[in-house]
């Protein structure tokens, strides 16, 4: 009898142990499935966040790489003249990409602003940019236009004449074709020495001609409009004279308006 009860008890214990093992295995499988589900959710959330950042191109701070000190030659002296101020990263990138950029970026005041601004923000701000179909982090300075930039037509010819030296140096540095560089040099040489500048309002006409023609030339040589490229060094005298005549007429009309207004004010005061 005792032996039968022991066998029955042992059988029940084995069944209980088997059920306990099955339960533990089920719980383990459930935990594994839950961990896998959570991992998949985390990967999905990470992928969505990456897509959102790429789509919105949010500016993100990045930790700058610590710069190492370079060795110097003992007793060496700083140069007698300071380093020349350079145009902004934005303007230089435009030249690298063969895109139009306002001449203002090459003026003395713009380069001074760049020296102050980019020195304080360098390597601190980045944005997402599409480079040959690939999204990549690029310096925000290279993508941000200055709020102080003005169109070429708003510059005086003196500003353009000074800025063109830095502009020419930069396009040579960016490996623009020699014939394009020479054509632009010819334009500035021709306008600088043009006899119309000796007339009242001549510089204004030259500045307007430069603003119109340089934009048209850039559109043409980069195939942005499909227009036929032309040699910008060849000054269209008729067009320059037409611009001068139009501006002269506008100045004369404005002078007449001022005279009429002054006359009216005098009559009102007399009455």
Bridge partner residues of 136 (DSSP) = 129
pTM of this prediction exceeds 0.75: no
Q: What are phi and psi of 85, to 5 degrees?
A: -65, 140
> Which among 247, 153, 253, 254 has a CA at the least distance from the CA of 200?
247
Q: Rounded to an integer, what distance in angstroms lies between the CA atom of residue 152 and that of residue 188?
A: 14
Q: How far is it, in rounded angstroms, from Cα 133 to Cα 65?
A: 27
User: Average pLDDT for residues 45-66, to the nearest whole number?
Assistant: 62
Instruction: Reduce the DSSP state of residue 141 to 3 states and report it.
Output: helix
Reduced to 3 states, what is the DSSP secondary structure of residue 131?
strand
Query: How crowded is the C-beta side of 43, counted as CA atoms within 13 Å?
Result: 6
User: What gap in Å lies between CA 147 and CA 35, rounded to an integer?
Assistant: 52
- Residue appearing with tokens 């269209």: 236
Confidence of residue 5 (pLDDT cuts 50, 70, 90): low
Q: Is 128 strand, coil or helix?
A: strand
Closest CA to 163 of 210, 94, 98, 216: 210
Phi, psi of 131 (to 5 degrees): -115, 105
Of the listed ranges 14-23, 57-66, 210-219, the least confidently predicted one is 57-66
Tokens of 180: 């394009």
Tell me which residue of 91, 105, 99, 95 sits closest to 163, measured CA to CA.
105
Residue 254 structure tokens? 């404005």
Tell me, what's the pLDDT at 218?
95
Helical residues (DSSP H) of the chain, grouped into ranges? 2-56, 89-96, 108-121, 157-173, 178-192, 202-221, 237-270
Whether residue 40 is predicted with pLDDT greater than 90 in this model: the reply is no
Asked whether the predicted pLDDT for residue 73 surpasses 70, the reply is yes
Cα–Cα dist 107/207, whole Å: 14
Average pLDDT, the chain: 83
The whole-angstrom separation of Cα 203 and Cα 205 is: 5
**Among the listed residues 156, 221, 196, the one whose alpha carbon sits nearest the alpha carbon of residue 213:** 221
What tens digit of pLDDT does each residue of 75-111 get? 888 888 766 678 999 999 999 999 999 999 999 999 9
pLDDT, residue 168, reads: 96
State yes or no: pLDDT of 123 exceeds 70: no
Distance CA 206, CA 160 (A): 10
Tokens of 268: 């009102």
Chain centroid offset of residue 124 CA: 15
Is residue 104 within 8 Å of residue 156, measured between CB atoms? no
């Amino acid at each position: 009898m005792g032996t039968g009860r022991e066998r029955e008890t042992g059988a029940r214990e084995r069944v209980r142990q088997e059920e306990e093992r099955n339960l533990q295995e089920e719980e383990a499988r459930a935990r594994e499935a839950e961990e896998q589900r959570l991992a998949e959710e985390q990967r999905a959330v990470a992928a969505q966040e990456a897509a959102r950042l790429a789509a919105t191109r949010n500016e993100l701070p990045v930790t700058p790489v610590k710069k190492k000190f370079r060795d110097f030659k003992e007793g060496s002296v700083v140069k007698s003249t300071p380093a020349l101020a350079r145009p902004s990263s934005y303007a230089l990138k435009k030249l690298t990409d063969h895109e139009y950029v306002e001449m203002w970026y090459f003026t003395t005041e713009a380069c001074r602003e760049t020296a102050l601004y980019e020195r304080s923000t360098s390597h601190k701000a980045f944005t997402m940019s599409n480079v040959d179909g690939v999204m990549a982090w690029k310096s925000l300075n290279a993508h941000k236009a200055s709020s102080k930039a003005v169109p070429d037509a708003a510059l005086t010819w003196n500003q353009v004449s000074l800025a063109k030296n830095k502009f020419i140096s930069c396009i040579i540095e960016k490996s623009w074709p020699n014939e394009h560089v020479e054509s632009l040099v010819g334009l500035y040489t021709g306008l600088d020495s043009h006899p119309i500048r000796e007339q009242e309002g001549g510089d204004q006409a030259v500045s307007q001609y430069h603003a119109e023609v340089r934009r048209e030339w850039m559109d043409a040589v980069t195939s942005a409009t499909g227009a036929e490229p032309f040699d910008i060094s060849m000054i269209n005298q008729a067009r320059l004279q037409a611009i001068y005549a139009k501006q002269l007429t506008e100045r004369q009309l404005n002078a007449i308006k001022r005279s009429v207004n002054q006359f009216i004010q005098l009559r009102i005061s007399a009455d």
